[in-house]
Structure 1
């Protein structure tokens, strides 16, 4: 395999006398297993939204019910991320990753064979559980199998894979739907999953260690409740602008948000008292890790706002079709593909904090450029601004992830990987919720003026406000990231 890769990628499998991790040959197989699983999960997330109208029609259900085909997976994943990150230290990366892959693959087959929307939603919950078992520890597996000198490079390559999958997903999904039907967006996972399970079981290392105390079940329940309520709050906020939602949606969102806050506080309190906590809070004692986590959270708030806002701008304000909107968004992941591998390679040699800060500054600039789009923007004008966003985010993500994983011990890499996944999910949900509030306020203002809903001009104004907020969140992330430059590097324990 290495002879087909460019020279920098070939270095990923080279052996040096003092290297940590796995030998080059086993490292290659383990990396292929993780990347195949990541591709499956990303494709699934991007394709499903394209397929929902066809699924709704085929299974004779309403659009409101069919949305739960998407939400069930997201909820199951978010609610179990922290639990699986902690469980991995007890049963080992190999057992958990292989089992998660197997569940995801079998559930994909179940989805393809589902004859009712109820069964499909249940299979999607199982898929989400399998996905959480895999994705909660995927970065930690990279940390375990690769030596520190190559960590930035492999994280950059992983960012390229995610971005490329995001860009190709809608096109592949549209092709499968047009030629074979909605069942095949799930069935395509089965052969890939079988291959990935075999590779994972034979290559991913067994990292289990004897448990010192009982599993923190209370922590797992509190974290699940907090993340589940958070997802539901964001989902409700995102529907504020729909006709007939009004104050009822606001009250429901507030109830979910309060539940998430109280459960989160109970979780933190319990972690301080637990003999073997689900999330050891002492990993946050390293300021470089904590600041990297906060940087990730703020950046994903900005990204979450933009990802949800731009389709509204393209379709409601500019009048593009859903397919054209997907094409207009493509330069963003393309920018990540162009930049992320170079950022990862640089992060192995230079300050990850500096590289992250520069990337975030460029990302913020791209969001400002999108917010300044004219009322009737041409595709090329949208495309180059989205490209700037992607390049900035690609230059930020790999170095920042390296900073997080590199500032904990290898024994704690599973916990750090879980924190990384939680910051991403939390940030994106908060971004979606903020956009929902903006749309709700602007829609209420339009109704007060005697209109049934916002017109294209008002839609454009509301989305531009959201994009300015996304730029502000990213500017905050830049400031947090830059604060790391004043601190000396600390070696993990």
Structure 2
């Protein structure tokens, strides 16, 4: 149900876009859309999510895994066939040959997915484990949003000064904040714990605010200029897909480990944030492993007022 909450907003956005956006000047031009590729990709995504949001076991799980594999193969074959016959594939072929773009998109996906999953796990823990109301739970999460607002405005100047190191430091700080929140949940008293978790959210929001815009700008800078629009769309799609998979997996893990005792609720939340930290660390590892491929430049990438 969590993943469906955004559906009304998506439908409203699509309706407003169809009504308000200009149709363009080239009326005779026909836009080519890889409908089959999009449907195959959507079906593959659904097959990946299904075991995470249901209680499939045994033969059902094996059948779902086999279906996922078949759909993935069909998606790849269709993509290659579309290129061979001169069509327009869902993903621009030029992007698949840009290693730094692919790595950067993967790093952004892991960061965004882990962030969304960790926020959900925290919300579930403070409400079910600590007994906070919905408004009190929102107050625990509020410092993250406030910190992101402040540090996002500073990200451009910080990126000009520190370069790619800013993104690496931000991801590292994110991992530390997640692990710190998990450790606090294991040992702090219920009276103090909401304040400690709020402090961890404040630091996490500062890290995310500093790294998000520089990371996205860095990723898109490695895409061919003619594919900039597609590159941005693929980047956003990858982040949303990672969020869907991470939220489904982490919430399933958290719910499966959710007994009544507070001590075990603490442990369940600890498992969830450690999993999120591992996802973020995977992106950090990819970034560090490709550091030698990244050109060092002092060029300014963000306009300043």
Shorter-chain TM-score category? 0.7 to 0.9
Match of 2:289 among 454, 465, 483: 483
Shift of 1:455: 2.1
What runs of 5+ residues in structure 2 fail to find an aligned partner?
298-305
TM-score, length basis structure 1: 0.52
Mapped pair 1:280 → 2:92: yes
- Aligned 8 A contact 2:53 2:252 in 1: no
Distance 1:370 1:273, change over 3 A: same
- Structure 1 residue 249: Cα displacement: 7.6
Contact 1:312 1:459 in 2 (8 A): no
Q: Secondary structure at the match of 1:330?
A: helix
Distance apart, 1:340 and its partner CA: 1.5
Matched residue, 1:188: none
Q: Is the 8 A contact 1:234 1:429 kept in 2?
A: no
* 8 Å contact from structure 1 (residues 354, 482) kept in 2: no
What corresponds to 1:128 in structure 2?
Answer: 10
Partner secondary structure for residue 458 of structure 1: helix
> Is 1:382 matched up with 2:197?
yes
What SS does the aligned partner of 1:215 have?
Answer: coil
* Alignment length (residue pairs): 289
1:356 is matched with 167
Where do 1:206-285 residues align within 5 Å?
A: 215-236=33-54, 247=55, 259-274=67-82, 275=86, 276-285=88-97
Q: 1 or 2 for the larger relative contact order (CA 8 Å, sep ≥6)? A: 2
**Distance apart, 1:411 and its partner CA:** 2.4
Residue of structure 2 in register with 1:370 after alignment:
181
Q: Secondary structure at the match of 2:257?
A: helix
Q: Is the 8 A contact 1:356 1:481 kept in 2?
A: no
Q: What do the CA deviations read for 1:271-329 (whole angstroms, capped 9, x no partner)?
A: 12213211123303111101101101221332132022101210121111111101111
The TM-score, its normalising length taken from structure 2, stands at 0.80
1:336 and 1:390 in contact (8 A); partners too: yes
Give yes or no for the alignment of 1:299 onto 2:111.
Answer: yes
Per-residue deviation, 1:420? 1.4
Are 1:391 and 2:206 an aligned pair?
yes
Aligned-residue RMSD, C-alpha: 3.4
Residue of structure 2 in register with 1:71 after alignment: 4
CA contact (8 A) 2:173 2:207 kept: yes
Shift in CA distance, 209/234, structure 1 to aligned 2, threshold 3 Å: farther
Structure 1 residue 382, shift from structure 2 partner: 1.7
